[in-house]
């Protein structure tokens, strides 16, 4: 993130006038004191980690200049997450698309599934051979 925008809005109730002011402050790390740059970095990582955990994701890696997060959710939820972290700067994004696996049976591998009376085939009704 290379700049910060602060919006100030004032309204005069009697006259119904509204004034919006936008202030842009350049706080690129090269122009900040070392302690301030580290504080900003820590705040950004903390916010990204907090958002990731709120969406049921996890932070996979944190390096000097970036971090890698993983989230598995419905496409609309992933889109919402991407919009929320966009102000921090997204360097790369990879999406797998929808994936689904069938549910496993409820009985364990060593348990034999009991067949119901309708499922058992009467051998006398089978053709010879």
| pTM of full prediction above 0.85 | no
The size of the chain, in residues, is 129
Rounded distance between C-alpha atoms, residue 103 and residue 122, angstroms: 31
Residue 39, classed as helix, strand or coil, is helix
Q: What is the pLDDT along the chain (129 residues), one digit of tens a residue?
A: 444 444 444 444 455 555 454 544 444 567 778 888 888 888 989 999 999 999 999 999 888 888 889 888 888 898 999 999 888 888 888 888 777 777 776 666 666 666 666 677 777 777 776
- Name the pairing type of β-strands 17-25 and 4-12: antiparallel
pLDDT tens for residues 66-82? 888 988 888 889 899 99
């Amino acid at each position: 993130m290379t700049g910060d925008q602060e919006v100030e809005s004032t309204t005069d109730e009697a006259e119904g006038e509204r004034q919006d002011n936008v202030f842009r402050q350049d706080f690129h790390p090269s122009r900040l004191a070392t302690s301030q740059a580290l504080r900003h970095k820590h705040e950004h990582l903390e916010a990204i980690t907090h958002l990731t955990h709120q969406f049921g994701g996890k932070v996979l890696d944190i390096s000097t200049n970036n971090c890698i997060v993983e989230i598995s959710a419905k496409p609309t939820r992933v889109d919402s997450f991407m919009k929320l972290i966009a102000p921090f700067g997204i360097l790369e994004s990879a999406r797998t698309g929808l994936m689904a696996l069938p549910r496993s049976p409820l009985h364990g591998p060593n348990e034999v599934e009991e067949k119901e009376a309708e499922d058992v085939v009467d051998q006398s009704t089978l053709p010879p051979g």
